[in-house]
A and B are shown apart, each in its own frame.
Chain A
Amino acid sequence: MKSRKESNKNIRTIRKERLDRGARARSKDLYVLMSYEDIAYVILPRVLPPLILLAFPFIVRDTYWHMVFFLAGYYAVASMSWDLLGGFTGLVSFGHSLFIGFGGYFTAILNVWYGVPIWLSIPIGTLAGAAMGTLIFAPCLRTKGVYFSLVSLVAPLVMVGSILAFAEITGGEEGIYGLENPLTELQWYYIMAGLVLLTFLILRKIAYSNFGLVLQAIRDNEPSVKVSGINPVRYKVTALFISGLFASLVGSLQAHKLSFVGPSYFYLSISVGIITMSVLGGVATIIGPAIGAYILTILTEWLRWLGGLRMLLYGVILLILLNFKPEGIYRYLERTYQTFERQVVEE
């Protein structure tokens, strides 16, 4: 992963010779900066969104919207982590809520049953949640991706069943109440906003490292990875665990923020939401699923009166997207932004 930086340097030197021949079109990470306008063009889309995210509580002071954005962040982190599996590795999970639920429950059990303080219950709960989810999925990684998808669909349902069956430990249908929550809404807002930015940076770094390259190779052509002397199962397990860490962390934070975990953490509607957001924003882009998460969460708030029909809404959006615009919002924006640039340069 370290040598990737070196590699990028080399891409630049190799391509520099070709700047005058319109290298801009060949690579999205190469720019010829000649004016403040050019610099703004490159910098603004990278700096503006995080700035807005950080300044939002000062722009909109209504705590209700801070809570909505916390939820959007929760989905953004979960969807970006889903993208590492579904988008980059070709492991399409229909049950990413499994990690969220495990993270939440382990954290709750630690904090409430064993009195582990919040600053320990979150990291330990997160690790345990990711490990548990990985253990459940690992056996089906040897076979074709379809089996993984099927297991991912069934596993959270089994977990909900087990929670009800082992009510003495899990609290059954009522869940576990009384997790420590020493933070204000505004503090939670900033924790989540920071986590969204950090998750994006880390996952993008991973996705475009040599490790991520192998994941994409597994997605597109697993036999060719095997004959290249690489054990695909090892890579898949690692990707699963990394992805699970972020989803599990989100569940853990949610548990403390709400002072509650319940079977709803594992619900299919959460997993379907994550998939819909990822597809809406654009799969295999990391940032796309985050964009999708913010759009869809805010939309859902506006359409609150729909109530239980939300799942239906997600389903319909998903169907429409897959049929008519499978590239997603991010790729569309990117393309539009690039054509915009070309006109400016030609002047």
Chain B
Amino acid sequence: MSKILRVENVTKRFGGIIAVKNVSFEVDEKEIVAIVGPNGAGKTTLLNIINGFVKPDEGRIYFRDRDITGLPPYKIAQLGISRTFQTPRPIHRLRTVFNIIVPLVSPRIKRTTGWFGDELVRAIDILEEVGFERDSEYLWKPAGLLPHGYLRRVELARALALRPELILLDELFSGLSSPEVRSIIPLLLKLRDRGLTLIMVEHRVKDVSEIADRVIVLHKGEKIEEGDPETVLKSERVLRVYLGGR
């Protein structure tokens, strides 16, 4: 099967800190890959490198065999990679539905769907998909006023609105109650069935063991383990990081 994403020997230093150290991995189409690791392991930096916010010092990123290293973030997004942020960043003063219209205005939407319909209806459809009621008051409130759990869903809706092929989720579950997490998991599986590829960043292996096909463990910027959730959970090295490290 062809690889949708290839990360090759990527390294990023911030001054003296090596945030990501010679990391390589590949992602298959329709795969759910989890990247886990303690705080400061370099997970967010790795996502920032993939989506173009951060330029790596060494290494290359290939999306469908196309070298995207160093492309500006909006171009990478237009190619079909969208993401959510660890701290939800809504467009505070815009109403929630209008938050979702922004990606719908992107040239990618016109190019991929040739669609000139009603952005507003489309935005509401997407928000409904991530768990908003169609007639919810929240849809018309400034997004900055929504409770935290809803903001995560707005993030996800914004990322989905771009009709991505690959979606990067930075700690989507953090700060959510376990019922909330359980309500999102079926949605993520549905997205995968629809043909999307997911890279999820989370803190611990057990957060993602239910849903991930494969887990990559980062520690101090280095990839220390990779495999299916059960194997990784039993790995000596991983246990040492989580038990010994903190």
Chain B residues with CB under 8 A of A168 = none
Besides A7-B120, A210-B101, 12 other A-B contacts (C-beta < 8 A): A14-B135, A17-B135, A217-B91, A217-B94, A220-B92, A221-B89, A227-B74, A229-B77, A229-B109, A230-B77, A230-B102, A231-B74
Taking the complex as formed, is A27 at the interface, i.e. its CB lies under 8 A from any CB of chain B?
Answer: yes
Q: How many residues of B contact A (CB 8 A)?
A: 41
Nearest chain B CB to A141 CB, angstrom units: 14
Does B117 lie within 8 Å of A220, measured CB to CB? no
Nearest chain A CB to B21 CB, angstrom units: 25
Does B140 lie within 8 Å of A213, measured CB to CB? no
Instruction: Tell me the chain B residues, 34-62 only, with Cβ under 8 Å from chain A.
Output: 51, 53
- Chain B binding surface SS class: helix
Does B89 lie within 8 Å of A229, measured CB to CB? no
Instruction: Tell me the chain B residues, 87-107 only, with Cβ under 8 Å from chain A.
Output: 89-94, 98-99, 101-103, 105-107
Nearest chain B CB to A284 CB, angstrom units: 8
Taking the complex as formed, is B6 at the interface, i.e. its CB lies under 8 A from any CB of chain A?
Answer: no
Taking the complex as formed, is B116 at the interface, i.e. its CB lies under 8 A from any CB of chain A?
Answer: yes
Does B135 lie within 8 Å of A210, measured CB to CB? no
A-B contact pairs, 11 of them (CB 8 A): A3-B119, A6-B118, A26-B140, A211-B105, A213-B102, A216-B91, A221-B92, A226-B77, A228-B106, A229-B107, A230-B74
Taking the complex as formed, is B78 at the interface, i.e. its CB lies under 8 A from any CB of chain A?
Answer: yes
For the complex, what is the distance from the CA of A331 to the CA of B85, rounded to whole Å? 33
Taking the complex as formed, is A264 at the interface, i.e. its CB lies under 8 A from any CB of chain B?
Answer: no
Does A228 lie within 8 Å of B93, measured CB to CB? no
Does B106 lie within 8 Å of A230, measured CB to CB? yes
Does B116 lie within 8 Å of A210, measured CB to CB? no
Does A216 lie within 8 Å of B77, measured CB to CB? no
Nearest chain B CB to A278 CB, angstrom units: 17
Does A220 lie within 8 Å of B74, measured CB to CB? no
Taking the complex as formed, is A225 at the interface, i.e. its CB lies under 8 A from any CB of chain B?
Answer: yes
Instruction: Tell me the chain A residues, 212-226 only, with Cβ under 8 Å from chain B.
Output: 213-214, 216-217, 220-221, 223-226
For the complex, what is the distance from the CA of A229 to the CA of B116, rounded to whole Å? 17
Chain A residues with CB under 8 A of B103 = 228-230
Q: B111-151: contact bitstring with A at CB < 8 Å (1 yes, 0 no)? A: 00000111111001000000000010100100000000000
Residues of chain B touching chain A, judged by Cβ–Cβ distance below 8 Å, are 51, 53, 72-75, 77-78, 82-83, 85, 89-94, 98-99, 101-103, 105-109, 116-121, 124, 135, 137, 140, 158-159, 161-162
For the complex, what is the distance from the CA of A224 to the CA of B82, rounded to whole Å? 10
For the complex, what is the distance from the CA of A217 to the CA of B117, rounded to whole Å? 21
Does B140 lie within 8 Å of A229, measured CB to CB? no
Taking the complex as formed, is A18 at the interface, i.e. its CB lies under 8 A from any CB of chain B?
Answer: yes
For the complex, what is the distance from the CA of A216 to the CA of B143, rounded to whole Å? 13
Known: A7-B118, A229-B106, A230-B102. A216 touches B82 (CB 8 A): no
Taking the complex as formed, is A55 at the interface, i.e. its CB lies under 8 A from any CB of chain B?
Answer: no
Nearest chain A CB to B143 CB, angstrom units: 9
For the complex, what is the distance from the CA of A223 to the CA of B87, rounded to whole Å? 12
Does B119 lie within 8 Å of A7, measured CB to CB? yes
Instruction: Tell me the chain A residues, 1-40 only, with Cβ under 8 Å from chain B.
Output: 3, 6-7, 10-11, 14, 17-18, 26-27
For the complex, what is the distance from the CA of A211 to the CA of B106, rounded to whole Å? 11
